[in-house]
Amino acid sequence: MNNSQMALIKSRIENLPPGRAFVIADFTDVADYENAKKCLLRLEKNNFIRRIIRGIYDKPYFSKLLNEYSSPDIEETAKAIARNYNWQISPSSSTALNLLGLSTQVTNNYEYYSSGQYKTYEVGKITIKFMHKSSKELLNLSYKSSLVVQAIKALGTEIDNIMILKMQKQLTDLEKRALLEEASGVTKWIYEIIKRICTQEDR
């Protein structure tokens, strides 16, 4: 590890939004794996970053109101774990509802379908569970598209305009176009709702 590598890695982390999680492999374009690992260990020791679980770090968000650092972002943590093992993941229906703010239930369990092995992680009082699913079943949809599809499956055909609007507001125009294209092969009733999400004007 040299000073220039440390400076580059530190600068990249400084430019990340608060709450973003990352792994050693995210920095191997700057340094080899062992040197990137040493850099992150030193930054953790200096309280510049936080270790969530082994091999997974984040740039914690500091709440001025509460005068403390927030808990790790669970979705960010799940994505970082997936990158660490080169897995493709998709949230389960119940998890999708929570991530999109469509469920009023507070949960301590987050479940993801994964192209990797069955694994469970404990992040504080939160459990993140990965359940194996054929990678072929995960290939057609990007993460954001699968998030919406799984939420629609959970809500069913009686989904209302308020929920449509909530999902609509969480998608960029680019993500809407990708969703319409990627999900064209899903069940007809799901795709009809997707078209409403992607084309319905705000009310």
Give the pLDDT of the chain (203 residues) as one tens digit per residue: 688 999 999 999 999 999 999 999 999 999 999 999 999 999 999 999 999 999 999 999 888 877 888 999 999 999 999 999 999 999 999 999 999 999 888 899 999 999 999 999 999 999 999 999 887 767 788 999 999 999 999 999 889 999 999 999 999 999 999 999 999 989 999 999 999 999 866 54
E strands within 92-155? 109-114, 119-123, 126-132
User: What does R_g of the chain's alpha carbons equal in angstroms?
Assistant: 19
What topology is assigned to 3-69 in CATH?
Answer: Arc Repressor Mutant, subunit A (1.10.10)
Residue 147's nearest CA partner among 179, 122, 107 is 179
Torsions phi, psi for 177 (to 5 deg): -65, -40
Torsions phi, psi for 5 (to 5 deg): -65, -45
Q: Can you give the residue ranges of every domain in the chain?
A: 3-69, 87-199
- For the beta carbon of residue 116, count every other beta carbon within 10 angstroms: 19
Q: Are 159 and 177 in contact (CB under 8 A)?
A: no
